[in-house]
Amino acid sequence: MGRRPSPGASVGAGALLQLLRDGVPRTRSELSALTGLARSTVTGRVDALLAAGLIAPSGETASTGGRPPATFAFNPAARIVLGADLGATHARLAVIDLAGNVLAVANADLDIALGPKAVLDWTIDRGRKLLDQVGRPAADLLGVGIGLPGPVEHSTGRAVNPPIMPGWDGFDVPGYVRERIPVPVMCDNDVNIMALGEHFTAWPEYEHLLFIKAATGIGCGIIADGKVYRGAQGAAGDMGHIRVAHADDVHCRCGNTGCLEAVASGGAIAAKLTEQGIPAGGSLDVVELARSGSVPALRLVRQAGRDIGEVLAGAVNFFNPSIIVIGGSLALAGDHLIAGVREVIYQRSLPLATRHLRIAAARTGESSGAIGAGVMVIEHALDPDRLDSASFGAELKNG
Amino acid sequence: MGRRPSPGASVGAGALLQLLRDGVPRTRSELSALTGLARSTVTGRVDALLAAGLIAPSGETASTGGRPPATFAFNPAARIVLGADLGATHARLAVIDLAGNVLAVANADLDIALGPKAVLDWTIDRGRKLLDQVGRPAADLLGVGIGLPGPVEHSTGRAVNPPIMPGWDGFDVPGYVRERIPVPVMCDNDVNIMALGEHFTAWPEYEHLLFIKAATGIGCGIIADGKVYRGAQGAAGDMGHIRVAHADDVHCRCGNTGCLEAVASGGAIAAKLTEQGIPAGGSLDVVELARSGSVPALRLVRQAGRDIGEVLAGAVNFFNPSIIVIGGSLALAGDHLIAGVREVIYQRSLPLATRHLRIAAARTGESSGAIGAGVMVIEHALDPDRLDSASFGAELKNG
């Protein structure tokens, strides 16, 4: 057994953990019988999972004479993850355990335009305090997940030409954080982690989910077959610049005309209200006006829902999701946005694709992004294929 | 080891085959060392793979004294698959081996409206003759794959409300064929198998592929992360009824207005030409006119390309594919269709999503569907997770 397994070829730790994630305690013999792995292999892999804290001894089985064999089970409380959702003007942090239980959250006003070092230093500092608050040492940290409000190259964790993030273009976010907290660090855009947080927390039974963030911009996070779908360049779900019919005269900041974001975002609605003599600075003003019953605001929010629905109607035919979840600050304006979305999707999409389609408001609230950032790290760390690769152990070991 | 492994928990045959598909011969000891599986497990799984014909003894290793140990390797030529692409008026069959090599093809005029029994009886009869032609017994058949020109519930292989297939609604296609050829039978719609055939044969290095079939109808097959993406009800890729801007006055057979199929399909172009005094009965007439240099036909084909491009521009932002492959009979009209598609996609889609996007004409020709139907069966049969399930062996055994 001195031969080093080639990546992806060895089987063992990942398969064992996959088996044990159901929470049932099992002995080494049972694990060997269930997987076909050699006893010596099982012992080695169990030791590695014990060292990583991912499984724990869970007592002994009923004795059948002689010393009873030890059993092991998945140990979701032993390790924790820090998730950070860094928005344009707000930051949200969450500490969760490996089962996704939220142990602590923190929110703060934080301008992403302060640049990567200032923002990440704050995140690291606040994250450490959050660990202290829940009484857990840094050695318990399995990893850190970070969401950013712009395009992110997921493989490297670097922001790519982010429009509202001066100083972040190409910055090595995982590298900077890892130098200060020596654990695996992963990065993605905010909409993907919000989709993941919503899916994990509120809709785990829906395999094909579209999460719409309707706020200052409009974006979409895609869960396909239960996993985040990112596409060839990680740009999948960028629906804000898909063309809306009858809006050819509207100019978008991207240089094109008729883009969804230019007609249906919080900023676009605020501008239209201001034009009508009702001053509004952005999506939060729009939400406040709509909630206070302003008819022009309600009409514009409903029309924005219809415009979003028009683009989603195409996405429904194309992607055939099982659920569409509408979130983002504009969704806080009440049922008018989602009513407009429903109106057009049921009018325009094919019956086969809408027969069982659910269209619902987001449930997880403002922490969905921070939770999703943590879930991203957990799903990656516990991925059976990855655990089976040769690098297992080194990366996950405590501290 | 008498305990029956729970589905998905056992590891072995699938992992072994995955390892051996690289073609390198290995001994039982090497397989045990590489996978961590017990020697007894390896022996059992190797025997099962040998019995299924998926691997074969490949000679002996250099002797180091004593009897040299036997080696085994993937055996792609030992088993074959029959693929059938049943179109509206044409049927195409292909026999391929497990590496996707095409051993024989057959084409015939066949009206799908004859109903399932007549069409499938012909397919079975012609398929058997094709096996005779390549000199292979039915016992070598690993499975049969079938593509149908309408929506198919992939899990059951039944057609669902197919508009042009009278008598097929809900018919148990796999059951009917399996009674006559007792092997696994899988069914999918024609666009999905064409996408699979194109991907496997011509573009295996592109992980995210959209295959557009532009013909009497317009449909799209999606390859995501290297696999067919079907969505929640198997309806994914149904782009023919996505709305095109500026076509609100065009009525579609689906009951809506402005659908892509109503303005850009071969039938729609033929109708417009006929209106202009140039008689055309369908997409093949359109292709002939375009090829003979008819300016009205060329203009309409190019405009159809633009309309398809408009819908695809949204799909590019949303799905971020690495390649779009344009096929179907309309694509035979020359470069005008694809030029129109390119024109609008590069104008409307985001730079990040088009930077490395390739837009190409289909390469595999009229057999892509039949080949893809066979590939569907191979990918399913050799799927490591499935091979690791408890039912392995029973299903794949010869004859």
Taking only residues 12 to 71 of chain A, the set having a beta carbon closer than 8 angstroms to any beta carbon of chain B reads 12, 15, 18-19, 32-39, 41, 45
Identify the bridge partners of residue A37 per DSSP, sorted by sequence position. Answer: B37
**Reported confidence tier of residue A236, pLDDT bands at 50, 70, 90:** very high
Give the pLDDT of residue A390.
38
Q: Topology of domain B80-195+368-381, per CATH?
A: Nucleotidyltransferase; domain 5 (3.30.420)
Identify the bridge partners of residue B169 per DSSP, sorted by sequence position. Answer: B159
Interaxial angle between packed helices B266-275 and B295-319, expressed in degrees from 0 to 180 and rounded to the nearest 10: 150
Q: Topology of domain B13-75, per CATH?
A: Arc Repressor Mutant, subunit A (1.10.10)
Contact present, A154 and A376 (Cβ < 8 Å): no
Helix (H, G, I), strand (E, B) or coil at B269: helix
* Cα-trace Rg, chain A: 24
Q: Where are the alpha helices (DSSP H) in A187-322?
A: 190-202, 260-264, 266-275, 283-291, 295-319
Give the mutation candidate from B18, B203, B228, B317 for the A interface (greatest A CB count, under 10 A). B317
Taking only residues 198 to 217 of chain A, the set having a beta carbon closer than 8 angstroms to any beta carbon of chain B reads 207-208
Give the pLDDT of residue A22.
84
Determine the residue of chain A that is closest to B17 in CA distance: A9
Q: Please enumerate in sequence order all residues whose Cβ is within 8 A of that of B66, keeping only pairs 6 or more positions apart, or say none.
A: none
Other CB atoms within 10 Å distance of the CB of residue B112: 24
pLDDT in tens, B244-292: 988 889 999 888 899 999 999 999 999 999 999 999 998 889 999 999 9
Q: Which residue has the tokens 């000679």?
A: B59
In angstroms, the separation between the Cα of residue B297 and the nearest Cα of chain A is: 27
User: Cα–Cα–Cα angle for B243, B248, B251, nearest 5°?
Assistant: 90
Mean pLDDT of A141-167: 88
**Are domains B80-195+368-381 and B205-362 of this chain identical in fold?**
yes
CA-to-CA distance for A14 and A23, rounded, in angstroms? 15
Contact present, A357 and B235 (Cβ < 8 Å): no
Contact present, A190 and A365 (Cβ < 8 Å): no
Structure token digits, residue A371: 């939770």
Burial, A167: exposed, middle or buried (Cβ in 10 Å; 0-12, 13-18, 19+)? Answer: middle
Which range is least confidently modeled, A231-235, A295-299, A342-346, A357-361? A231-235
Helix (H, G, I), strand (E, B) or coil at A285: helix
Among 3.40.50.1820, 3.30.420.40, 3.10.129.10, 3.40.50.2300, name the CATH number for the domain at B205-362.
3.30.420.40
Determine contact: B234 vs chain A, CB below 8 A: yes
Determine contact: A336 vs chain B, CB below 8 A: no
Which range is least confidently modeled, A151-160, A220-229, B100-109, B277-286? A151-160
CA-to-CA distance for A310 and A295, rounded, in angstroms? 23
Determine contact: A389 vs chain B, CB below 8 A: no
Give the mutation candidate from A252, A320, A322, A347 for the B interface (greatest B CB count, under 10 A). A320
In angstroms, the separation between the Cα of residue B209 and the nearest Cα of chain A is: 9
Other CB atoms within 10 Å distance of the CB of residue A312: 29
Contact present, A193 and A85 (Cβ < 8 Å): yes
Q: Which of B228, B262, B243 lies closest to B152 in space, CA to CA?
A: B228
Element (H, E) at A107: strand A102-109
Nearest Cβ partner for B314 among A34, A242, A348: A242
Structure token digits, residue A92: 């949200």
Identify the bridge partners of residue B105 per DSSP, sorted by sequence position. Answer: B94
Residue A237 Rama label (left phi>0; alpha psi -120 to 50; beta)? left
In angstroms, the separation between the Cα of residue A9 and the nearest Cα of chain B is: 6
**Reported confidence tier of residue A14, pLDDT bands at 50, 70, 90:** confident
Whole-prediction pTM: 0.88
Nearest Cβ partner for B317 among A8, A229, A241: A241
Residues of B in contact with A1 (CB under 8 A): 33, 36
Give the pLDDT of residue B8.
35
pLDDT in tens, B120-138: 999 999 999 999 999 999 9
The torsion angles phi and psi of B10, rounded to 5 degrees, stand at -70, 150
Give the pLDDT of residue B391.
45
Return the amino acid letter for B342: R
End-to-end CA distance of chain A: 28
Determine the residue of chain B that is closest to A344 in CA distance: B243
pLDDT in tens, B331-377: 998 899 999 999 999 998 888 889 899 999 999 888 999 999 999 99
Determine the residue of chain B that is closest to A160 in CA distance: B352
**Reported confidence tier of residue B10, pLDDT bands at 50, 70, 90:** very low
Nearest Cβ partner for A237 among B9, B246, B318: B318
Strand residues in A180-278 grouped as ranges (E): 185-189, 209-214, 218-224, 227-228
HSE of A364, CA atoms in CB hemisphere, 13 A: 28
Give the pLDDT of residue B193.
96
**For chain A, which residues make up each domain, given as ranges?**
13-75, 80-195+368-381, 205-362
pLDDT in tens, A305-319: 999 999 999 999 999
CA-to-CA distance for B297 and B280, rounded, in angstroms? 10
Nearest Cβ partner for B34 among A10, A232, A236: A10
Structure token digits, residue A57: 């001894």
Contact present, A146 and A122 (Cβ < 8 Å): no
